[in-house]
């Protein structure tokens, strides 16, 4: 099987931080070596600046082997 790609789209507050913790456990416990993980951080209840920072903190705390990508900083519809 080739490399799998997982994209986790989020605006990390407490709920998404918990989900990222679960994600890290699944990756480690299943021994997933051939999976490429991207955390797509977008605006939400707070600005993109804060959600991006929170994504980096979660990646560090949970030791998630992922690239963090900045998403949109506002709604597509304005």
Residue 54 belongs to domain spanning: 4-70
User: How large is the greatest C-alpha to C-alpha distance in the chain, in angstroms?
Assistant: 42
Confidence of residue 40 (pLDDT cuts 50, 70, 90): very high
CB 23 within 8 A of CB 12: no
The reported pTM is 0.86
Tell me the pLDDT tens digit for each residue of 60-69. 999 999 999 9
Average pLDDT over residues 37-41: 96
pLDDT at 76: 82
Q: CA separation (Å) from 77 to 26, 45, 72, 73? A: 35, 16, 11, 12
* Number of domains into which the chain is organized: 1
Q: Is residue 77 part of a domain?
A: no
pLDDT at 33 exceeding the cut of 80: no
Across the beta sheet with 4-10, what order do the strands follow? 4-10, 35-41, 66-70
DSSP string, 9-23: EE--SHHHHHHHHHH
């Amino acid at each position: 099987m080739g490399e799998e790609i997982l994209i986790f789209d989020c605006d990390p507050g407490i709920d998404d931080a918990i989900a990222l913790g679960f994600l890290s456990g699944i990756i480690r416990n299943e021994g997933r070596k051939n999976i490429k993980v991207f955390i797509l951080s977008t605006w939400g209840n707070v600005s993109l600046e804060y959600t991006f920072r929170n994504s980096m903190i979660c990646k560090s705390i949970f030791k998630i082997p992922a690239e963090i990508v900045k998403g949109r900083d506002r709604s597509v519809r304005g």
